[in-house]
Structure 1
Amino acid sequence: MTEQIELKRATDPRIVKMIVFAIGVQEYCIPILSVREIRGFEKTTTLPFAPPYVCGAINLRGIILTVIDLAIYLNVPPQPDNPRRVAVIVESKDGVVCGLLVDRVIDMADIDLKDVQAVSEEGSCLAGLVLVDDRMIGILRLDTVVGQLVGDTVSE
């Protein structure tokens, strides 16, 4: 019986596997299929005249990536002394690869899209909110975030 439930969960298109991470006290998630890897945060090379949310650039096996501090972008006090900060390397649907600096990765969750409560703002970086184990988690629109953050710096 349990195998049938797991098989249904794996094949149900409304269930999306998400990686859950924290920025300050708030939790957010993005689809796991958008994540290339998770790396410990390393020193970045400063990019002159970059917006305040751009930490800088890193060399990822010969590829130069922009790293975005999501805390600054989302207007949350950053935790620079947090040893659990990591860079989540993501790829948008447009093929843009960048790093998202988060305070810590918490876990993975299966999110049922029918349980997502939409947010009212048009063009918001949040697709909605969902309750997972009595925790309110914001679902980031990765393509919107990457497009606004990295797309602006790449196109200039």
Structure 2
Amino acid sequence: MTEKDKEDGVDAKIVKMIVFAIGEQEYCIPILSVREIRGFEKTTALPFAPHYVCGAINLRGIILTVIDLAIYLNIQPQADNPRRVAIIVESKNGVVCGLLVDRVIDMADINMNDVQAVSEESSSLSGLVMVNDRMIGVLQLETVVGELVGDMVTE
């Protein structure tokens, strides 16, 4: 909590986030949700999976579904990008999956009070925040993973 927050009587909620890029846009998720970051490897196709699922990988004996966030967020994927990585995440519900991103940029301390909400209620973004003159989307991990689990169960 900064001195200014203490003076204003604001209870600042600072969350350490990992910042990554998809295309030209930057997004972030809480670092505590991240298990590991690994180079992208060939996935095994999953029949009848949603179009944004690029397949499954074997992570030390555990089979994980990998979501291509570019396709999920309707952004042109950079397939020939050698810096693409899979961020292995665990949702609050205990679901573990991989998020394919174009590149990891850095970590940032985000004051959740500074996040500007987006207009869509069921959006994949909880909002946008300015960090050092960069606008970063705060990804709602529970929404992304929830859709994956819901889609995989119903099909």
Normalised by the size of structure 2, how large is the TM-score? 0.91
* CA deviation after TM superposition for structure 1 residue 152, in Å: 1.7
Q: 1:125 matched to which residue of 2?
A: 124
User: Where do 1:1-156 residues align within 5 Å?
Assistant: 14-156=13-155
Aligned-partner SS, 2:152: helix
State which drifts further: 143-152 or 80-89: 143-152
Distance in 2, matches of 1:68 and 1:102, equals 9
Distance in 2, matches of 1:116 and 1:51, equals 30
Q: Alignment identity in percent? A: 82
Distance in 2, matches of 1:90 and 1:151, equals 17
Asked whether the 8 Å contact 2:50–2:151 carries over to 1, the reply is no
- Unpaired runs of at least 5, structure 2: 3-10
CA RMSD of aligned residues (A): 1.6
Distance in 2, matches of 1:145 and 1:69, equals 11
The residue identity in structure 2 corresponding to 1:59 is N
- Unpaired runs of at least 5, structure 1: 6-11
* Deviations, residues 8-48 of structure 1 (Å, cap 9, x unaligned): xxxx7600000000000000000000000000000000011
Distance in 2, matches of 1:33 and 1:155, equals 29
* CA deviation after TM superposition for structure 1 residue 151, in Å: 3.3
Aligned-partner SS, 1:28: strand
Normalised by the size of structure 1, how large is the TM-score? 0.90
Aligned-partner SS, 2:117: coil
* CA deviation after TM superposition for structure 1 residue 155, in Å: 4.8
Distance in 1, matches of 2:21 and 2:148, equals 19
The residue identity in structure 1 corresponding to 2:130 is L
Structure 1 stretches of 4+ with a deviation exceeding 3 A read none
* CA deviation after TM superposition for structure 1 residue 91, in Å: 0.3
* CA deviation after TM superposition for structure 1 residue 154, in Å: 3.9
Asked whether the 8 Å contact 2:116–2:128 carries over to 1, the reply is yes
* CA deviation after TM superposition for structure 1 residue 150, in Å: 3.4
Distance in 1, matches of 2:85 and 2:121, equals 29
Distance in 2, matches of 1:15 and 1:155, equals 37
Aligned length: 148
* CA deviation after TM superposition for structure 1 residue 88, in Å: 0.2
Distance in 2, matches of 1:40 and 1:93, equals 24
